[in-house]
Amino acid sequence: MEMLERNELLGLVPTATYGDRLPQNGERGGALHLSSVLPALSSAIGHPVPTKVHHDPKALQNALGFPDARSAIVVLVDGLGFWNLNERIGHAPYLRSLMKDGANRRPISTCAPSTTTAAMGTFGTGTCPGLTGMAGYTQLAPTGDRLIQLIQFKDPLAPKTNGPVAPIVKPDELQRQITVFEALTAQGVPVTSSGLAKFKGSPLTEAALRGSEYVANVTPRDRVRAAARAARKPGLSYLYIRDADKVGHNSGWDCDKWVATFEHIDAQLALLAREAPKGTLIVITADHGMVNADPAERIDIAQEPALQRGVRFVGGEPRAVMLYADDDPDDVAARWRDVLGDRALVRTKAQAMHDGLFGVVDPRVEPMLGDVIVQASGEVTIVDSRTQADKATRLPSVHGSQTMQEMDIPCIIDIA
């Protein structure tokens, strides 16, 4: 597939919508959205699960092109955006063979912000961050005037300890939407998750993906085989692969180490296709893409007094900042626009909600969202060295914003 120019991939794109119809006239999202994948698969296996934003799972199945199947496996490859995949497709013979199909060459949209915590909630519930209450790496906690980090549901500003940290809010108290896994299990449909032992019962898993039978294994090969074995029964199997995101953050998404990791991921997916029972529907997707961060475009709030003024907390992440304001949000937003110019899109919460950035917003969730939402363009990152570790402010590859490279994700179909 022909790659787009860099400035097009790193430019901000229209806000993706939620719904059951195909996007039209330059729209993005709708039925072609990460939130559609599990409801569409529920229809494909004969047990349709509607959600708060998707009322017609069969329409989603048709829009995404999923055939009916006795059993399905859905694979979420963390950080493997559509354009990241296409840039290095020559290293992935299995995926390259699938990309010959025109339907697989069409990206779908992830949620905003384009980051794992928000996307996992969106994927698992088939809804949107405005309903799940999972709207960024860090955000205002539902109780108490403090931030919460949504990987471990802990206070990101608390001193580090060697032992386990108790969540400051229970996952099912923050994220109250029923998951598609829970809905399928309630219908008596077998649902299996295959992953690392450390993620079994983790706060993020319990918030976004609760309801399945979790099977833990140490090696990637064993996790793949566990997903394939589970597909022997009619139902749904879920496989999570994290390495593209982990290596991207630590070393850069297009470095040699990332390419080698991508080759290993392709081999895992090929093994899955070989070992899954004949006729199993396999769908491969991701939570977000990744962009390289330009050190020269790093903006440190600690060095910019105008960006600090009137701001109580800085949440979100380096590509999608949420500001919690003491001043009038319009004034804070104006100051940020003056400093950042065309390096970021700055909106008040009211403007972002009007644009549908978080989808439908529950009144319970609205106070958790930032008063000002800042989304970086190009290779810009926005960090705060007053509260963030130096390494966290200098990651070589990042995500979270509303550019094509971060928002476009694959939705690749295979039949074993």
Task: Tell me: do 310 and 410 sit in the same domain.
Answer: no
Residue 23 lies in a domain: yes
The confidence band for 390, taking pLDDT boundaries of 50, 70 and 90, is very high
Residue 1 lies in a domain: no
Q: What does the pLDDT read at residue 1?
A: 66
Q: Which domain holds residue 336?
A: 295-396
Task: Tell me: do 267 and 308 sit in the same domain.
Answer: no
Question: Total structural domains in the chain?
Answer: 2
The confidence band for 304, taking pLDDT boundaries of 50, 70 and 90, is very high
Query: Which range among 71-80, 82-91, 106-115, 156-165 shows the weakest confidence by mean pLDDT?
Result: 156-165
What average pLDDT does range 215-227 have in this prediction?
Answer: 97
Q: What does the pLDDT read at residue 292?
A: 98
Element at 240 (helix H, strand E): strand 235-241
Q: What is the pLDDT of residues 344-382, one digit of tens each?
A: 999 999 999 999 999 999 999 999 999 999 999 999 999
Task: Tell me: do 196 and 91 sit in the same domain.
Answer: yes
For residue 315, the domain's CATH number is: 3.30.1360.180
Task: Tell me: do 341 and 247 sit in the same domain.
Answer: no
Give per-residue burial for 11-42: e unless 16+ CB within 10 Å, then b.
ebbebbbbbbeebeeebbbbbbbbbbbbbbbb
- Answer for the pair 357, 373: CB distance below 8 angstroms, yes or no: yes
Task: Tell me: do 154 and 279 sit in the same domain.
Answer: yes
Residue 21 lies in a domain: yes
Task: Tell me: do 98 and 197 sit in the same domain.
Answer: yes
Task: Tell me: do 409 and 340 sit in the same domain.
Answer: no
Residue 362 lies in a domain: yes
Q: What does the pLDDT read at residue 14?
A: 96
> Residue 164: is its pLDDT beyond 80?
no
Task: Tell me: do 211 and 310 sit in the same domain.
Answer: no
Q: How many CA atoms lie within 13 A of 215 on its CB side?
A: 20
For residue 136, the domain's CATH number is: 3.40.720.10
Task: Tell me: do 259 and 343 sit in the same domain.
Answer: no
Could you say which DSSP state residue 278 is in?
Answer: T
Residue 133 lies in a domain: yes
Percent of the chain with pLDDT over 70: 100
Within 45-102, strands assigned E span 71-77
Task: Tell me: do 102 and 72 sit in the same domain.
Answer: yes
Query: Which range among 60-64, 80-84, 140-144 shows the weakest confidence by mean pLDDT?
Result: 140-144
What average pLDDT does range 50-66 have in this prediction?
Answer: 98
Q: What is the pLDDT of residues 192-201, one digit of tens each?
A: 999 999 999 9
Task: Tell me: do 365 and 350 sit in the same domain.
Answer: yes
Task: Tell me: do 105 and 150 sit in the same domain.
Answer: yes
